[in-house]
């Protein structure tokens, strides 16, 4: 059988991507065409079939063939004896996101899972894909090129794991390990593009110091830059897509965090794409693919992301420890870190991570956030047990060497075995406490083992004199709304609910002065006000347009500054710290 996809972009302003599948030498009496319901790397059912328009089928001589909707994601096509078919459909592409396909007059970003159907039973079929587009547009993708605007893939998985940017985007390349790496940037960047290329090259070089060789022929970074865009990324086997806010690119802290996101997505080239939980492949694109190991695939990758930019000298150790302190602060701030285990958090990603509720702060913990800390804890233990000879670097390299050869995924049992091989110790108790369980982490002890100490303070003297009731607040225009209430805090006990609009505290109008940030950039805002010791606050709110008063106790604002520094005399611990933070090349 031969399969070719034809993609036509002739009226991009209509947001309609035209796709045709040419299928020849088929002997089935009917075929089932399916559009994926989700995309690997983003664990949420998105039902991409909702964007399909006008599906039709014809035989090679032009006869229309009967098509019927089989279920929400699939269509049944009766071949009526024809061995050569033409399937045509359009995809409505209005969502500008790295997790979907977008098409307008300025460009096309094609995420295969949201644009290309597959034939049930034929996902392993080799294929070609041809692009027809405006004359001045060009293609950037990691797919293997055969002729102008024609590419091939060994199977459907490779096709949809290779996003495509088409347009007049900015493009630059660099060479590492003898492989070309392209940076395709869509939108208005405004920054120093050459500096961006140089810094991304450093990320690639620092990562390859762990894994030694690149496992791809060519790699493509696709960046989407526009004002107000949320920073994020999605990994692929030989490429990644990263979104960024072009208006923030000159903010030094934002740029460093962007480098961490890029390092995270690039590290996925190994961890999750080639070192993967057994449940994540071969993919079932129709429904959820559950695993308890996303904390390793995502959290450990996030742990390495900051280490990579440290080793690439894009940040210094002071900045790295600042990032670490922010992560520790959020874990200690969120009661959910003691309610939901990392294994549960991973398994429930499909229904919780991408569908947050106001109670998540109390009952859920991100497998990214806590998994990142677990990575540090595991690396420190490996380094201590091997007297500074090994760290988590060697675990990832061992897993890569073990599981890349046959393409099989790993289980939790395999992970425990690999940890024992690297460290010489059984990590079962560690897993029971911190991954399957919810034991509280003793950060002072963990950091002390690496010759580090942590100091929790208020960032300003005036903040230390402020009180709060335990409300997390968001501003909507001129209204201040309770986004969440922290479990066990005064507002929680007083009966204040998320969704309440805060009008006043102690008879004084609530305003911006009453909000304090717990994280840098003000992403999590807390209610704040002045009160005397043991004084109760009267909180006035609108709840469903009814004016209500609540009497709430108060307490000091949480610490917002978590400063981590090296101790002055830590002897052998310095070797542990060096092994954990830096690669063997620095020892």
Taken in order of first residue, the domains within the chain and their CATH numbers are 2-167 (2.60.40.3650), 170-267 (1.10.390.10), 294-448 (1.10.390.10), 461-558 (2.30.42.10)
Phi, psi of 525 (to 5 degrees): -105, 135
d(CA 99, CA 112) in angstroms, rounded, equals 10
Q: What is the dihedral of CA 315, 318, 323, 325, to 10 degrees?
A: 170
- Residue 152 CB neighbour total at 10 angstroms: 15
- Please say whether the beta carbons of 35 and 109 come within 8 A: no
Residue 86, beta-bridge partner list: 22, 58
- The secondary element (H helix, E strand) that includes residue 516 is strand 515-517
- Please say whether the beta carbons of 129 and 139 come within 8 A: no
d(CA 487, CA 364) in angstroms, rounded, equals 12
In the block, which residue shows the tokens 């070192």? 275
Q: How far apart are the first and last CA of the chain?
A: 55
- Whole-prediction pTM: 0.96
d(CA 170, CA 183) in angstroms, rounded, equals 8
- Please say whether the beta carbons of 538 and 505 come within 8 A: yes
Residue 157 has which token pair? 């998985």
pLDDT in tens, the chain (587 residues): 999 999 999 999 999 999 999 999 999 999 999 999 999 999 999 999 999 999 999 998 999 999 999 999 999 999 999 999 999 999 999 999 999 999 999 999 999 999 999 999 999 999 999 999 999 999 999 999 999 999 999 999 999 999 999 999 999 999 999 999 999 999 999 999 999 999 999 999 999 999 999 999 999 999 999 999 999 999 999 999 999 999 999 999 999 999 999 999 999 999 999 999 999 989 999 999 999 999 999 999 999 999 999 999 999 999 999 999 999 999 999 999 999 999 999 999 999 999 999 999 999 999 999 999 999 999 999 999 999 999 999 999 999 999 986 678 999 999 999 999 999 999 999 999 999 999 999 999 999 999 999 999 999 888 989 999 999 999 999 999 999 999 999 999 999 999 999 999 999 999 999 999 998 777 899 999 998 777 899 999 999 999 999 999 999 999 999 999 999 866 788 888 999 998 644 33
- Please say whether the beta carbons of 380 and 373 come within 8 A: no
d(CA 468, CA 475) in angstroms, rounded, equals 17
């Amino acid at each position: 059988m031969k399969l070719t996809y034809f993609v036509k972009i002739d009226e991009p302003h209509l947001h309609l991507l035209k796709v045709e599948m040419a299928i020849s030498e088929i002997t089935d009496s009917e075929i089932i065409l399916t559009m994926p319901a989700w995309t690997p790397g983003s664990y949420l059912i998105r039902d991409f079939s909702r964007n399909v328009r006008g599906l039709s089928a014809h035989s090679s001589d032009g006869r229309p063939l009967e098509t019927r909707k089989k279920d929400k994601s699939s269509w049944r096509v009766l071949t009526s004896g024809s061995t050569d078919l033409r399937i045509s459909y359009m995809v409505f592409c209005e969502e500008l996101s790295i997790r979907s396909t977008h098409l307008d007059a300025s460009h096309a970003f094609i995420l295969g899972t949201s644009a290309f159907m597959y034939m049930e039973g034929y996902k392993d079929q080799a294929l070609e894909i041809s692009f027809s587009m405006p004359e001045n547009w060009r293609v950037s993708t990691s797919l293997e090129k055969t002729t102008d605007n024609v590419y091939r893939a060994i199977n459907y998985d490779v096709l949809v794991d290779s996003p495509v940017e088409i347009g007049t985007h900015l493009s630059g390349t660099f060479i590492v390990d003898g492989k070309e790496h392209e940076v395709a940037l869509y939108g208005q960047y405004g920054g120093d593009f050459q500096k961006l290329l140089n810094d991304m090259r450093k990320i690639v070089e620092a990562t390859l110091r762990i894994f030694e060789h690149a496992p791809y022929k060519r790699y493509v970074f696709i960046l989407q830059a526009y004002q107000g865009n949320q920073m994020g990324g999605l990994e692929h086997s030989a490429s990644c897509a990263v979104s960024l806010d072009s208006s923030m690119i000159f903010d030094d802290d934002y740029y460093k965090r962007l480098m961490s996101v890029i390092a995270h997505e690039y590290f996925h080239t190994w961890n999750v794409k080639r070192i993967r939980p057994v449940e994540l492949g071969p993919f079932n694109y129709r429904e959820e693919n559950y695993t308890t190991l996303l904390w390793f695939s995502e959290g450990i990758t996030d742990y390495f992301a900051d280490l990579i930019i440290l080793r690439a000298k894009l940040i210094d150790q002071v900045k790295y420890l600042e990032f670490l302190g922010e992560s520790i602060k959020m874990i200690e701030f969120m009661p959910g870190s003691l309610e939901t285990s990392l294994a549960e958090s991973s398994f429930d990603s499909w229904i919780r991570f991408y569908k947050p509720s106001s109670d998540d702060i109390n009952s859920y913990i991100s497998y990214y956030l806590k998994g990142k800390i677990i990575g540090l804890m595991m690396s420190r233990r490996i380094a201590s047990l091997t007297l500074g000879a090994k760290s988590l670097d060697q675990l990832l390299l061992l897993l890569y060497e073990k599981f890349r050869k046959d393409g099989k995924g790993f289980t939790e049992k395999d992970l425990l075995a690999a940890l024992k091989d690297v460290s010489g110790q059984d990590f079962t108790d560690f897993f029971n406490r911190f991954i399957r369980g919810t034991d509280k982490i003793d950060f002072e002890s963990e950091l002390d083992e690496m010759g580090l100490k942590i100091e929790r303070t208020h960032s300003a003297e005036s903040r230390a004199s402020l009180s709060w009731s335990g409300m997390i607040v968001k501003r909507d225009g001129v209204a201040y709304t309770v986004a969440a209430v922290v479990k066990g805090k005064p507002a929680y006990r007083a009966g204040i609910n998320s969704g309440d609009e805060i009008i006043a505290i102690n008879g004084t109008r609530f305003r911006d002065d009453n909000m304090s940030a717990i994280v840098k950039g003000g992403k999590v805002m807390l209610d704040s006000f002045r009160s005397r010791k043991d004084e109760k606050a009267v909180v006035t709110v609108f709840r469903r347009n009814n004016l209500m008063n609540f009497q709430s106790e108060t307490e000091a604002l949480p610490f917002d500054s978590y400063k981590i520094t090296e101790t002055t005399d830590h002897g052998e611990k310095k070797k542990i710290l060096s092994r954990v933070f830096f690669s063997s090349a620095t020892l």
